[in-house]
Copies of this chain bind each other. A is one copy, B any other.
Amino acid sequence: MGKSRAVPGLGSIKALTFDVQGTCTDFCGPLQRMGDAVNRAKGLSLDWGALSAEWRGLYRATLDAVIAGQRPFLRVDRIYRETLDTLLDRHGLGGTFDAAERDEMNRVWSRLEPWPDTVPGLARLRRRFVLSTLSNTAMSTMVAVVKHGALPFDAVLTAELARIYKPAPAVYQLAVDYLGFAPSEIMMVACHKYDLAAARAFGMRTAFVTRPLEFGPGESPDVAPEDWFDVFAEDFLDLADALGA
């Protein structure tokens, strides 16, 4: 991994907005632990790594349908809940889990775990910048994740407030309206290039943070640098170094 490479002109940055699922937190670990608990409770030997990947794929397809206007706005927690039903039906597990058990399984998305550098990195960055979430997650899920991980943000903003999802510009506009800074004074931090590309098109600065373990140890997400990133950082501590925080 290369060291962070800060570019000139970052002195005007006042606020950092963060993608959360993947960028600030690990979801694979919590999903695996949820799956292990379910297998034990039900005497099953399901492969929850594969099931989780399939669940996330179903979620992504529904989210994309909302973004494309093919479906009305639906909160992320309800998309996950609906696609969990689909997932279980597909695998002949429709009769194995009642509604309360499915609700509890779905709450795994509120128990995401911060990466080891997340809290110390945010604490350093917070001394210098206003920090906010800018996630596609539901507001109540995001508040639960922030509380669960004791993530030191100054504000919690999610796409639910715009009733449309990233990469729609209306989501990035939330940061302008509710944090009170111009786009050029705000830096979007994410481990996903589509998110940063949209933030950049909106006029925000961008920081890519590598999360090579986002999809688990066996996967290889795209963590290659791009020449249009303002900052490329290995983790939040490296980001704090790059921004002088």
Chain A residues with CB under 8 Å of chain B are 130, 132, 138-141, 143-144, 146-147, 154-156, 160-161, 177-180
Once the chains are docked, how many angstroms separate the CA of A180 from the CA of B147? 13
Whether A178 lies near B130 (C-beta < 8 A) is: no
Whether A180 lies near B140 (C-beta < 8 A) is: yes
Once the chains are docked, how many angstroms separate the CA of A141 from the CA of B181? 11
Whether B143 lies near A130 (C-beta < 8 A) is: yes
Name the B residues within 8 Å of A146 (CB-CB): 154-155
Whether B143 lies near A154 (C-beta < 8 A) is: yes
Our pick among B132, B140, B154, B155 for the contact of A179 (Cβ within 8 Å) is B140
Name the B residues within 8 Å of A130 (CB-CB): 143, 147
Nearest B residue to A75 via CB reads: B177
Nearest B residue to A141 via CB reads: B180
Name the B residues within 8 Å of A179 (CB-CB): 139-140, 143
Name the B residues within 8 Å of A140 (CB-CB): 177-180
Name the B residues within 8 Å of A180 (CB-CB): 138-141, 143-144
Whether B161 lies near A154 (C-beta < 8 A) is: no
Pick 27 A–B contacts, CB within 8 A, sort by A. A130-B143, A130-B147, A132-B143, A138-B180, A139-B155, A139-B177, A139-B178, A139-B179, A139-B180, A140-B177, A140-B178, A140-B179, A140-B180, A141-B180, A143-B154, A143-B155, A143-B178, A143-B179, A143-B180, A144-B180, A146-B154, A146-B155, A147-B154, A154-B156, A155-B156, A156-B156, A160-B178
